[in-house]
Amino acid sequence: MRKLAEAPIADPAWIAKARYALRSGAAEWERAQMETLDAWEETAYGQD
């Protein structure tokens, strides 16, 4: 994220790569959050 904040954004290809990296990071974060939620639910309610 720091590199995104410090880099000059002028190249459309660079912008596309940055957006892809942000989407990928968001997807990984969301997956981790869902795994945590699944673990909590399993502990609270037991396995299906």
Domain map (residue ranges) of the chain: 14-48
Q: How many CA atoms lie within 13 A of 20 on its CB side?
A: 6
Q: Residue 15's pLDDT is what?
A: 76
Q: Residue 22's pLDDT is what?
A: 81
pTM, rounded to two decimals:
0.47
Q: How far apart are CA 28 and CA 23, in angstroms?
A: 9
Q: Residue 16's pLDDT is what?
A: 80
Which of 4, 34, 37, 44 has the alpha carbon at shortest distance from 22? 4
Tokens 């795994």 correspond to 35
Q: Residue 9's pLDDT is what?
A: 66
Contact 32, 41 (CB under 8 A): no
Q: What is the pLDDT of residues 1-48, one digit of tens each?
A: 566 667 666 677 777 887 888 888 888 888 888 888 888 888 877 755
